Amino acid sequence: MNKNLVCPTSRRSFLKSAGQVAAASALVGLAVPRVHAGENNTIRIALIGCGGRGTGAAANALTAKGGPVQLVAMADVFDDRLKSSYENLSAHFQDRMDVPAERRFVGFDGYKQAMDCLAPGDIAIFATPPAFRGVHFAYAIEKGLHVFMEKPVTVDGPSTRRMLALAEASVQKNLKVGVGLMWRHCRARRALHDRIQAGEIGDIITLRAYRMHGPIGSFLSEPKSAGISDLMYQIRNFHSYIWASGGCYSDFYIHNIDECCWMKGSWPVEAQACGGRHYRGNYVDQNFDNYSVEYTFDDGTKLFLYGRCIGGCYDQFGSYVHGSQRQAIISLNAGMPSYSAIYRQQSIAPSQVIWKFTDHEPNPYDVEWEDLLLAIRQDQPYNEAQRGAEASLVSSMGRMAAHTGQVVTYDEMLQHPHDMALGVETLTFDSPSPLMPGPDGKYPVPQPGLVTDREY
């Protein structure tokens, strides 16, 4: 590995040589109004992806300070999820919704129909599985729409290269883009970040991150029934399949990775890792049950990440940073509230606290929306797409290191040719999945040491 690698420079050089930015810049076209749409001061919203997180994001948008906002369109590939989301949101926000049946779209092209209901300067929410993020973002740029998209925003090298090019195109078009790494908007973490950057814990030596708990979401998948295709089964259970979501690693651990890298002020340049599958029975998902990853920054600093989805084990969910003088807690107990604090020594004890955040800590899921709406209404620079792509790439780098048993560098991950969702923009209900089962009905899983040049 090149120890002199500087990640952002390498990324820019690669994009320039690949011609990606030029291609994305062709989307710029018409100038976007420099303020929100609508003479009545209302920002209209379309929700694309109506599962739990999409419904939650819409609820955060409708309750955030910075209104008025109105939900006017919804889209999903599953009719039952769209209906459930509409009913749940209507029960709480009926006065802020205008989504008649003709503006509720079911299908792979529903994202276009939903965004066509908006005007330049309105907002599209993307909460589908991440494999579709780039396709949807490209159309939003073409339509001149501001965007809120859930993390992760990419799952592999090719999708990251495309997303970085789209990010630059969205900046050129003055679009405001929020990415669902909400802990960056946490007021307690921001206060801790400022103190760390000011040198209050000394030089950062080591960071530690833990997300260890039982199976959640669609981490596990049993064999599909005969009444659903491989494609639709995998989209419904997207945490189980790497092409759709980056698997549990990218979807679950990106928050811890991102907040640690934020405190460090840079992205790691390489990763090595271990992981494995246990007690798998008849499950057909692609996830490992545990991951242990060592990230290395360009100055030699280490970030150690531990992830586990096994019931009956010790649970831990938090992030820590060790400096040459003191230790700090970034987050504890799933991160809300953060419990951010600085300790006098390399031990955590109440008597050793020299600073902790004591002000009210608003919910960062709400704050990220308030920050986005403020930027739109005041036309402030605000675009998190590049940072979201880089955080997603670093997550993929650690995942690939575990899945292949190899040391993987930032540049190797960025330039890797395996496009896991090739042709995703043309999928229909009748399409084969990007991932097909073997003769035994099971999907391919990572084999470290045996398959070393790709994840499966």
CATH of the domain at 322: 3.30.360.10
Query: Looking at the domain assignment, is residue 431 inside a domain?
Result: no
Q: Tell me if 451 is assigned to some domain.
A: no
Residue 349 belongs to some domain of the structure: yes
pLDDT classification of 17: cutoffs 50, 70, 90: very low
Domain that holds residue 341: 187-363+395-416
Q: Say which CATH number the domain at 36 has.
A: 3.40.50.720
Do 154 and 195 belong to one domain?
Answer: no
SS3 labels along 227-289:
CCCHHHHHHHCHHHCHHHHCHHHHHHHHHHHHHHHHHHCCCCCEEEEEEECCCCCCCCCCCCC
Same domain? For 345 and 375 the reply is: no
26: pLDDT strictly greater than 50: no
Start-to-end Cα distance in the chain: 23
Amino acid in position 342? I
Domain contains 130: yes
Q: In what order do the strands lie in the sheet with 353-356?
A: 353-356, 341-343, 327-331, 316-323, 204-213, 302-309, 290-296, 270-276, 408-409
Place of tokens 């308030």: 370
- Rounded to two decimals, the pTM is 0.91
Sign for the pseudo-dihedral over CA of 39, 105, 251, 348: positive
- Residue 448 in domain: no
What's the pLDDT at 23?
44
Q: Is residue 386 within a helix (H) or strand (E), and if so which, with residue range? A: helix 385-404
- 176 and 206 assigned to the same domain: no
Strands, sheet with 104-106, edge to edge from the N-terminal-most edge strand: 104-106, 69-76, 43-48, 123-126, 146-149, 177-179
Instruction: Report, as an integer, the average pLDDT of 150-162.
Output: 98
Q: How many residues does the chain have?
A: 456
329-376 residue pLDDT tens: 999 998 899 999 999 999 899 999 999 999 999 999 999 999 999 999
Task: Tell me, yes or no, whether 430 lies in a domain.
Answer: no
